Chain A
Amino acid sequence: MSKCRRKVQIRTVRSRLTVVLVAAILCGAIAAGALAQSAGKSTLIGKLEGPEVVTDPARFPKSFSESPQLTALVKAGKLPPVAERVGQDPLVIKPLKEIGKYGGMWRAGFTGPADFWNGFRCCSGPDHLMFWDYTGDKVVPNLAKGLEMQDGGKTWLVHLRRGMKWSDGKPFTADDFVFWFEDIYRNKDLVPTPSATLAINGKQGVIEKVDTYTVRYKFPEPYFMLPDVLAGSTELAGQMWGYRAMGGFAPAHYLKQFLPKYVKAEELDKKVKDAKFDSWVRLFLNRNDWAVNPDLPVLSPWKTVTPINTPTWTLERNPYSVFVDTAGNQLPYIDKVVLTLAENLEVLNLRAIAGEYDYASRHVDLGKLPVFIENQQKGNYKVHLDPGDYCDLIIKFNLNYDADPEIGKWFNTADFRRALSLGIDRDQINETFWLGTGTPGSVVPVDSNKYNPGPQYRKLWATLDVKKANEMLDKIGLAKKDAEGYRLRADGKGRLRIEIMTLGAQFVQYTQISEMIREQWKKIGIDLKVQEVERSLALKRTAANEQQLGAWNNDGSEHLFTFPLHVFPFEVDAVSSSGPLYAKWFQSGGTQGKEPEPRMKEMMEKWKKAFGVPEKERIALGKEVWKIAAEEVYIIGVVGQGPAAMGVRVVKNNMGNIPARMYNSPDGKTPGVSRPATFYWKN
């Protein structure tokens, strides 16, 4: 009787397994089928291309034209003529394919006031002084006409565009830089800690006015990185940082009315009270917020009309936009950008699938790629993939972990880290979660990146080699195993259990992938516990040095010097860290925290040194940083160069000047790097 029952039980377990397996295979087959139908990866990932900033005066347009909407306003006497509005030196952009047509609306979704990057990426221009060309590799002039290095890199002159104006028609001049520097940046209430971006080797620089259209940045030591810093998504780059008082410039004529220096105390108090704020600081930061304040004068091609804290975030063309195409048409072509609030990501994705968005890549889920492809015709859109140049999934060892000295010791053993990396079947993960579109490998950026140390580093300690991993673990003193095949701790306290901390609802499915790694590590006798936590808790645990392993991605790290957060412990407040005490040591200049081990220290020093040396030397230093990273495996690279982070792009078929593939990175403010101001409606 009991035997009989047991058999039945086994059978049900088995049949359940079969059902799961069949379902999994079916899903896989459907996904593969859908991919095959569209002829696979090759047609989804096109050629990297994009518009160009024209710097040769011979190719500048001689006359200018504008949107019919604005012509009407000029005729009514409400606006000065277009040539006057764009000034003497407009920013000329050669559209990717052709000169576009004016008009239309661009619909997309956003997830709430915390999603401000959404609008900055699409619609801010970008309004950096310098910016990247479409490859993301070269710095080109942007709002600034050019940069001039003097004094061996200690002084930089920024040349502004003559006659350029804020969106309210007031001139944009060197005074706006001095105002920002003197009255905002140096105000302790607004900026309690000076920015590292305006300093070299911890020594702050100054910003001065030379004449109306020339600004001088002066540093105590050579600062060769400055062009990259102005181009990257750093605190010196544009009005998007206004909400935390940074940006490098600000509309003096508008913002003075909110500063105690220029306004009587009672008057300011009244303004603060009327707006229901607690302090003038909150009011000021609110008024200096590109996404929140429609009254704020801006320099971007579109400007906020209904703010981000309402159900629709609407942006309309800036009549004083300094951007023009090669035929002299003032950009943008598209009149209006409308971002509608999606209460959750599923709704956002379903709307994109239904073709309710004209262009969407942010929040588009790679896991739904087959469904996106299936509905291409019905939704009248095309799917493009924009793989990043970085790793989509990395695993950080917390080298400072000391709550359990035994585990801390193993994390600090290079061969332990390497063996764990060798125990990961990256191909399986790539097929399952990236549908085969990613590239398995170590933490180093894409081979074409200028800091990439060489193709051999892609595979270094980053292939599946269970045998070698087991040998290495045996050798370092973890040879003993328990009955279930898991390795035992050296201190005799049972099984060696390690824990990985993951976050849910991110661009990458950290938790699910970690579960797969847990299964894979069973083969090398490592018992992994996957723990998904809420992000505030993650931050708190990391800061308290309670994290063991942490899963994240290293997006942005292809720009090693403007985005080092996921290369070595750089920031103290991180959701996952390879050493919070090291980060503290680094940030405090060695006065707090813990001194890193020699190789880690070498990495940090080389990174720091690179800011003060010419580009050629910097590239050599960058390669060495990545070399150490790959050799020491402080961070395991799993799968990268995939489209997981904002790399699945859904664009209507009749939208023009859309690149087949674009550089995908926070530094490129993608799609900003493709200059959405040149996108247009063909019909």
Chain B
Amino acid sequence: MLAYIGRRALLAVFTVWAISVLSFAIIQLPPGDYVTSYIAQMASMGSVVSDEEAQNLRIQYGLGQPIYVQYLKWMKLMVVGNFGMSMEWRRPVTEVIGDRLWLTIVVALASLLLTWVLALPIGIYSAVRQYSPGDYVATFIGFIGLAVPNFLLALVILYFGFVFFNANIGGLFTPDFQDAPWGLAKVWDLAKHLPVPALILGLAGTAQQIRIMRANLLDELRKPYVVTARSKGLSELRVILKYPVRVALNPFASTIGYTLPYIVSGSIIVSLVLGLPTVGPLLLKALIAQDMFLAGTIVLLLGVMTVIGTLISDILLVWVDPRIRLEET
């Protein structure tokens, strides 16, 4: 078991390094650099940046150096926990991301929780009562949830929220609480704003998980051991929950791998539409402005999250499903 985790961890370190190289390379791909996008932005506001000034900016930001030098510089900074300075925000990258990270995690956890709380029981019910009216209703809603693009849903909900309930448009706080120090009132304000984004973000996931749960459980329910259990006179609830559901849970555990990065980046488009102060829109803006340290750090963070997530789900799987343990030895 320990050797297994150790091997995985070692692999993870190597993967993270590879991701850092890749993310740096990806950010260099689009034409131009931060200074080009800065000049373009100045030009669209009607002011001129001279060639010399642009050159000077490139020197100040170190953009003129070869890519590998820039990469090494970034690496050197990162090792000491300094992720560089965001060019657009003119603040350290750690601060810029840090501002938003906690809210991002709160939103994502809320949507994750909602997904599981809804998906598990509905999925089990659908499988056990296959082809019952309840199953049809759940399936129907599930397909709608899968088919409707969630950013569209976000727009619709935003509009109706405004027209019928006079709700605040977007964001996670009422304006009065935006800058207020954290306190019970602010947390309550956040809690009031949370359900809508959580629901929208979680809906597609919920539908998907319902389908997966239903399909897996159906497979299991037909297996001889279930029949045996029933014939031995176990109560129906116990028959289902003790074994088939546990087996069917495997996919849930393995999805954690991509749930973690999702926690950080959220769904960028939905966050944009809902005006959520999360990391997703920040990443988009950083990419557009070619703010490479900020974009690089977020992409790297996503990579690290995926790696850690995968590691956790591997461990979880081993724990949930003894068969995997057996195969390993």
Q: Which residues of A contact B (CB under 8 A)?
A: 107, 112-114, 117, 189, 192-193, 233, 235, 244, 276-279, 281-282, 286, 289, 292, 306, 309-312, 314, 338, 340-344, 346-347, 350-351, 353-354, 356, 503, 506, 534-540, 555-556, 563, 565, 570-575, 666
**A538–B30 Cα gap in the complex (Å)?**
12
Contact B90 A539 (CB under 8 A): no
Contact B99 A292 (CB under 8 A): no
Contact B275 A192 (CB under 8 A): no
Contact A356 B99 (CB under 8 A): no
**A534–B145 Cα gap in the complex (Å)?**
33
**A340–B43 Cα gap in the complex (Å)?**
25
Contact B175 A571 (CB under 8 A): no
16 A-B pairs with CB atoms under 8 Å apart are A292-B90, A340-B175, A343-B271, A343-B276, A346-B273, A350-B158, A350-B159, A351-B169, A354-B166, A536-B36, A539-B36, A572-B50, A573-B40, A573-B43, A573-B49, A575-B40
Task: Compute the total of residue contacts between A and B using a CB distance below 8 Å.
Answer: 144
Which A residues are in CB contact (< 8 Å) with B178? 311-312, 340
**A279–B274 Cα gap in the complex (Å)?**
38
Min C-beta distance of A283 to chain B, whole Å: 10
Give A346's nearest chain B residue, CB to CB.
B273
Interface residues of B in 1-60 (CB under 8 A from A): 30-32, 36-37, 39-41, 43-56, 60
Min C-beta distance of B55 to chain A, whole Å: 7
> Which stretch of B136-144, B225-233, B284-292, B308-316 is in the interface?
B284-292
Which A residues are in CB contact (< 8 Å) with B162? 350, 353-354
Contact B31 A537 (CB under 8 A): yes
Which A residues are in CB contact (< 8 Å) with B48? 565, 570-571, 573
Known: A310-B99, A354-B162, A537-B32. A556 touches B54 (CB 8 A): no
Give A544's nearest chain B residue, CB to CB.
B31
Contact A117 B45 (CB under 8 A): yes
Contact B273 A347 (CB under 8 A): yes
Known: A314-B179, A534-B288, A536-B36. A344 touches B272 (CB 8 A): yes
Known: A539-B39, A540-B32. A343 touches B99 (CB 8 A): no
B281 within 8 A of A: yes
Interface residues of B in 148-178 (CB under 8 A from A): 155, 158-159, 162, 166, 168-171, 175, 178
**A350–B88 Cα gap in the complex (Å)?**
26
Which B residues are in CB contact (< 8 Å) with A113? 88-90
Give A667's nearest chain B residue, CB to CB.
B46
Contact A347 B275 (CB under 8 A): yes
B82 within 8 A of A: yes
**A555–B32 Cα gap in the complex (Å)?**
26
**A276–B55 Cα gap in the complex (Å)?**
22
Contact B46 A666 (CB under 8 A): yes
Contact A555 B46 (CB under 8 A): yes
Q: For A235, A286, A572, A666, which residue has the most chain B Cβ atoms within 10 angstroms? A: A572
Which B residues are in CB contact (< 8 Å) with A351? 169-170
Give A188's nearest chain B residue, CB to CB.
B56
Contact A342 B170 (CB under 8 A): yes
Contact B56 A344 (CB under 8 A): no
**A149–B171 Cα gap in the complex (Å)?**
54
Count, chain B residues at interface, CB 8 A: 58
Among A286, A572, A575, contact of B51 (Cβ-Cβ < 8 Å): A572
Which A residues are in CB contact (< 8 Å) with B45? 117, 666
Known: A112-B285, A571-B43, A572-B51. A312 touches B36 (CB 8 A): no
Among B39, B53, B175, B289, contact of A356 (Cβ-Cβ < 8 Å): B175
Contact A536 B32 (CB under 8 A): yes
17 new A-B contacts at CB < 8 Å, known A192-B55, A193-B50: A113-B89, A117-B45, A235-B47, A276-B92, A281-B60, A289-B90, A344-B275, A346-B273, A353-B162, A503-B44, A506-B44, A534-B30, A535-B44, A563-B46, A565-B46, A573-B39, A574-B43
**A446–B61 Cα gap in the complex (Å)?**
43
Contact A347 B44 (CB under 8 A): no
**A332–B50 Cα gap in the complex (Å)?**
36
**A87–B277 Cα gap in the complex (Å)?**
43
B85 within 8 A of A: yes
**A354–B158 Cα gap in the complex (Å)?**
11
Min C-beta distance of A199 to chain B, whole Å: 13
B134 within 8 A of A: no
Among A114, A235, A244, A277, contact of B88 (Cβ-Cβ < 8 Å): A114
B91 within 8 A of A: yes
Which A residues are in CB contact (< 8 Å) with B64? none
Which A residues are in CB contact (< 8 Å) with B99? 310-311
**A574–B49 Cα gap in the complex (Å)?**
10
Closest 6 A-B residue pairs measured CB to CB?
A: A347-B275, A193-B52, A536-B32, A535-B40, A192-B52, A539-B40
Min C-beta distance of B71 to chain A, whole Å: 16
Contact B275 A343 (CB under 8 A): yes
Contact A278 B31 (CB under 8 A): no
Among A279, A343, A539, contact of B43 (Cβ-Cβ < 8 Å): A539
Which B residues are in CB contact (< 8 Å) with A244? 53
Min C-beta distance of A450 to chain B, whole Å: 20
Which A residues are in CB contact (< 8 Å) with B276? 343
Contact B40 A538 (CB under 8 A): yes
Min C-beta distance of A246 to chain B, whole Å: 10
